[in-house]
Amino acid sequence: MRILVTGGLGFIGRKIVLTALEGGHEVRILDRTPALPSTSTVDVVTGDVTDAAATEAALDGIDVVCHQAAKVGLGVNLQDMPAYVSDNDGGTAVLLAAMHRAGVDRLVLASSMVVYGEGRYDCPEHGRQPAPPRSKQALGAGQFEPTCELCGTPMTPGLVQEDAPLDPRNAYAASKIAQEHLTNIWANQTGGRAIALRYHNVYGPGMPQDTPYAGVASIFRSALLGGEAPQVFEDGQQRRDFVHVADVARANIASINAVTRDATAPYRAYNVGSGEVRSVHDMARALAEALDGPEPVVTGQFRLGDVRHITADSHRLGRELGWIPGVSFADGMRELAAERSDSMT
Ligand code: UD1
């Protein structure tokens, strides 16, 4: 298969490219980062996905697009909003229109678990209840768990499935939902086929580091390598599912194979997580132990727009596409700790 990977020089994109090549696919990369010239195995096009001409040219001869180019992270503040919308939504709109012109009708889209907002919660008294955004006041008072609107009791999080309501809590999440909606519309209007992969917290070799948009595992690793304690926000009990980049790359290849078969639905979304839910404090401790560094410090600080727990059920991807995660939390964190710093970006 001839695959175009947008953002193919990024953290996740690079791993997808390598995995696709190992699987015998032909790969072209479209990425705005200036890169080494194309090799005999990979064709690298330097260009921005928001640039219609560059994107259309990159689509020449392609069977399926794997769209990873995006601005990620929570964002530093509201001034990031225009860039999330133009890079993620503008870029996707330009790509979809160019795909239609070029007659390329298969797409795998990188989405995110943040599309669910706080996801699913149960009150011990009132059962399933919505979890409204956490106010600055509540967070400042150290009240981190979402509370029941009816009785104010802290609620218990549950695993979110793909048909849960979409409920963005920050600009990045809103931009990912818009990408999904645009893709769904494209599929229905053109007869195309698309799969959206809603990633949990992706980590592993090559993670971006030393930028405000780096994931928490990379931030803690950098702190520990500098001899400093990881700064754990809130009370450290916020839960995440840390999924290894190699597993995410395999999920993309499984989706590329599925979406190029005619039997698939026009549009299907899948959660992509390891199934191992850990607190951020546990993750900090695992890295501190592996690097023989100082104990993590729980600071009580918070970021507005952060969701408390992100825990979803990723079984649909296994049931329908045969994907199972291969890297355990313990092995993955040890590997991340042991990675040489100069091999990270
Ligand atoms: C992450 C991804 C996002 C992805 C989502 C899917 C990054 C930067 N963000 O968002 O692209 O869509 O997962 O689930 O990779 N924290 C600390 N100390 C710090 C920094 C963060 O305790 O120094 C805490 C945060 O408050 C949060 C948790 O760690 O509770 C995770 O933060 P972060 O790595 O930024 O990821 P998400 O917001 O979960």
pLDDT in tens, 91-115: 999 999 999 999 999 999 999 999 9
Kindly list the distances between the CA atom of residue 156 and the CA atoms of 68, 122, 123, 150, 238, in Å, as whole numbers in the listed order: 33, 5, 7, 15, 12
Residue 234 · residue 297 · CB < 8 Å: no
Position 119 scores a pLDDT of: 87
Q: At what angle do helices 216-225 and 329-338 cross, to 10 degrees?
A: 40
Report the nearest-CA residue for atom 26 of ligand 1: 233
Which residues are registered as beta bridge partners of 185? none
Q: What integer pLDDT is reported at residue 254 of this predicted model?
A: 97
Name the strand (E) or helix (H) holding 201: strand 201-203
Q: Give 231's strand partners.
A: 297
18 Cα–ligand 1 center, Å = 26
The pLDDT of residue 213: 78
CA atoms within 13 A on the CB side of 276: 18
Which residue's CA lies nearest to atom 2 of ligand 1? 73
pTM higher than 0.85 for the full model? Answer: yes
- Low-confidence stretches of the chain (pLDDT < 70) are 76, 262-263, 341-345
- CA 202 to ligand 1 centroid distance, Å: 10
Spell out which residues line ligand 1, taking CB within 6 angstroms: 72-74, 112-114, 199-201, 213-216, 219, 231-233, 238, 240, 280, 303, 306, 310
